[in-house]
Amino acid sequence: MSDILEIEAKALIGKKDYEKLVSLFKENRSYVQINYYIDTKDGEVRKKGLSLRVRFKDMKFEMTVKVPFKEGHIEKNLYITEEEFEGINGQTSFPDNEIKKYLEEAGIDTSKLFIKTVLSTRRIDAEYEGGELAIDMNNYSGITDYEVELEHKDMATATKYLKQLFDENGIPFELNKKNKIRRALEAIGE
């Protein structure tokens, strides 16, 4: 299992501003990823301040639990097999791995975990000012939104350069405090 510190500034934008940024970065890597957000019926994962997902990207399933950190999140990531994913999807089993152990140590009953909602993202990745820029079109529960994220060494730097990109392109800038999982869960009334 790998632990990664994720610090990123995020902003929601409109479709026209999304298209403007896509045209600027169209030569960069573009792909689709599908996020399956997992919790119990009672929201045990969320109540612990954590988030849990399986992401399907590049023909692989990656399980991630995000743990709040003083700035950003620590992501605990590991790959699972398609069969393990199908166990979660069919609500028959949760993979026996380090994330399961972590969740159980946090007091979460992993036998009650299931996929609550799904969000698909068409993403463009690009390097920008020493950070990793992601330009996303997200679809979930009949909703489409557009988000730009800049991952950097600290929040102040990420915010500075994301604002710079927006200012240079005439895009209104306002930091987004609701991450993808929060928006996807709110869309289903959670």
Domain ranges of the chain: 2-187
Q: How far apart are CA 162 and CA 26, in angstroms?
A: 18
Ranking 12-21, 41-50, 63-72, 147-156 by mean pLDDT, the lowest is: 63-72
Query: Is the predicted pLDDT of residue 1 greater than 90, yes or no?
Result: no
- What is the Rg, in whole angstroms, of the alpha carbon atoms belonging to the chain? 17
Helix (H, G, I), strand (E, B) or coil at 171: coil
Query: Is the predicted pLDDT of residue 181 greater than 90, yes or no?
Result: yes
CATH of domain 2-187: 2.40.320.10
pLDDT digits (tens, 9 = 90+) for 53-109: 999 999 999 999 999 887 878 999 999 999 999 999 988 999 999 999 999 999 999
What average pLDDT score do residues 103-122 get? 96
Q: Which residues have CB under 8 Å from 141's CB, separation 6+?
A: 117, 184, 187, 188
